[in-house]
Structure 1
Amino acid sequence: MDLPFFGHRPGRAHRLILACLLAALLGGALCLPPLSARAEAAETDSATVTPPPAASLSRPDLEPLRTVGTATVASCLDGDTLTLTSRRTVRLAGIDTPEMKGRTGKPQYYARESRNLLREAARGQTVRLFQAGEKTQDRYGRIVADVQLHDGRSLSAFMLEQGAAYFYPHTDLTPAYQDWLRSLQARAIHERRGMWAWLLAQPFALQSYTGNKRSLRFFPADSREAQSIKPRNRIHFGTLMDAFLAGYAPARNASPWPEADAQ
């Protein structure tokens, strides 16, 4: 069938050219996916620009603590410290939680929730203690260990996953163990679990912070403590979340953590 071409009937040569053009156009159309599929592909491509929440690394192998082994939890003092029926006090390795008595003597934000969560999970339970680093005691005489429930769950990991604790780096802990805990914290932060939802939505979370590369602690950028850090040991964080994701923990003497009644 002859097709109109700019208002007059084309000749044989024109028809051949037009046929080739139509074949090329139709062939290209057949090679393209439907519009909806292309839109989905475009959305997928754009989504990959932002990295997904960090997945937890493989759980490191730890040696049982020779001095204690199996024990029973008597009580939980806060979200990272518990006592055994043997009257020994145990500090959960690699984490820290809001203080029940902050700098003003009042509970910090999420301190009660953190303590209650640990109490519900561990009180009265038989646990096993594993060595997470070189030292098994801190300067206060408390046992420092990875405490595991009878089903093998690590209480340090559990508290991080629930957004009830933050990663607390220390040179005595093994690197693999610290990397594992840090990855669990990153996932909780990205998913805004527990305390992270409210905390990271506050104005102070958008302020700048300065970290100390030696201690792996951070301070408000305008604080006296931040200014006293030697320049070669300083690292700048644009937001509070940046500091936590980098594996730094808030310094006790200049913590940005609010009190419980600030919520």
Structure 2
Amino acid sequence: MRARWRACVYWLFIAILLPGLAQAGAQNREVRVAWVPDGDTLILEDREVVRIKGMDAPETAGNGRPDQYFAQEATERLEELIKDRVITLKTGQVPEDRYGRTLAHAYLPSGENIGLLLVREGLAFYYPHEDQDEKISRDLLRAQQRAIDESAGFWPEVLNQHPEVETWAGNKRSKRFHHPGCGYGQRISEHNREEFDTLREAFYAGYAPCRRCTPWPDADR
């Protein structure tokens, strides 16, 4: 009886404590941006590097690689959105990525989610990951699906890439999809494997491309 009582007290304590810890882990702060290196990254006035959560934009040139298709358009649109404005960053339980960049959702003074705007305009795609707010994730995916349906931004060109590929391999656990020749895709277990006939199906289902076998075209395609 005492053991059962102690167990009840323990779980009651956990139920009360965890929401408070989650709230404490989240931080909101107002910042100014010094410059924008690409469509999903901000460099603040104090040189802090911020990676916008929940989305990914085409990569700008670097390390010997050219711009990806629509990289400059995404960068310019992000610059336009944050120019001369104080924006709000909201971090979660995982405040940094493995590169030391701050992970945060970014908001305009109007309260609009900047990442959501870029996805809705077809300038960035939904990037599912750990420690993402479920509602924001749903909103981002819906915005992407709408952008695909309306052929916004980069989608018409991107979805026409690699018509010769018959099946793209998706990993249910990581929510990444792979070219059939990608080693990472070939190692997906049957339990976690989901197959897509087209790029449209993969993106529409909320999967993001593997960085090693991305189907994204270069800007000079």
Fold-level match, TM-score > 0.5? yes
CA distance in 1, matches of 2:60, 2:219: 9
- Kindly provide the amino acid, as one letter, of the partner of residue 138 in structure 1: D
Q: Is contact 2:128–2:207 with CA below 8 Å preserved after alignment?
A: yes
**1:212 maps to which of 166, 171, 189:** 171
Q: Which residue of 1 aligns with 2:17?
A: none
Counterpart position of 1:187? 146
Identity of aligned residues (%): 38
Q: Please state if 1:239 is matched with 2:202.
A: no
Q: Is the Cα contact below 8 Å between 1:134 and 1:173 reproduced in 2?
A: no
Contact 1:134–1:174 under 8 Å retained in 2: no
Q: 1:128 aligns with which of 88, 91, 94?
A: 88
CA contact (8 A) 2:59 2:71 kept: yes
The yes-or-no answer on 1:113 pairing with 2:66 is: no
| Residue identity in the other structure for 1:251 | C
**In 1, distance between residues paired with 2:68 and 2:213?**
13
**Helix, strand or coil for the counterpart of 1:77?**
strand
The counterpart of 2:107, out of the listed 145, 148, 155, is 148
Distance 2:206 2:32 in 1: 31
Contact 1:74–1:124 (8 Å) recurs in 2 = no
Structure of larger gyration radius? 1
**What's the counterpart of residue 31 of structure 2?**
71
1:232 alignment partner, SS class: coil
Cα distance change, pair 237–112 in 1 and its aligned pair in 2 (3 A)? same
Match of 1:83 in 2: 43
Task: Measure the CA separation in 1 of the matches of 2:158 and 2:27.
Answer: 39
Give the superposition deviation at 1:103: 8.0
> Is residue 56 of structure 2 the alignment partner of residue 96 of structure 1?
yes
Residue of structure 1 in register with 2:128 after alignment: 169
* TM-score of the superposed pair, with normalisation by structure 1: 0.70
Distance in 1 (CA, whole Å) between partners of 2:26 and 2:168 is 40
Secondary structure (helix, strand or coil) at the match of 1:260 reads: coil
In structure 1, distance between residues paired with 2:64 and 2:136:
33
Q: How many Å separate the matches in 1 of 2:137 and 2:73? A: 24
The aligned amino acid for 1:148 is Y
CA distance in 2, matches of 1:65, 1:136: 8
Q: How does 1:10-29 map to 2 (within 5 A)?
A: none
Shift of 1:231: 1.8
Q: 3-state DSSP class of the match of 1:204?
A: coil
C-alpha change, 1:216 and 1:193, in structure 2 (3 Å) is: same
Distance 1:152 1:68 in 2: 12
Q: Judging changes above 3 Å, is the alpha-carbon distance between structure 1 residues 206 and 103 closer, same or farther for their aligned structure 2 residues?
A: farther
Alignment size in residue pairs: 199
Q: Check conservation: 2:28, 2:90, Cα contact below 8 A.
A: no
Name the CA distance, whole Å, in 1 between partners of 2:54 and 2:107.
Answer: 14
- The verdict on how the C-alpha distance between 1:65 and 1:152 changes in structure 2, with shifts beyond 3 A counting, is farther
Alpha-carbon separation, structure 2, partners of 1:64 and 1:120: 32
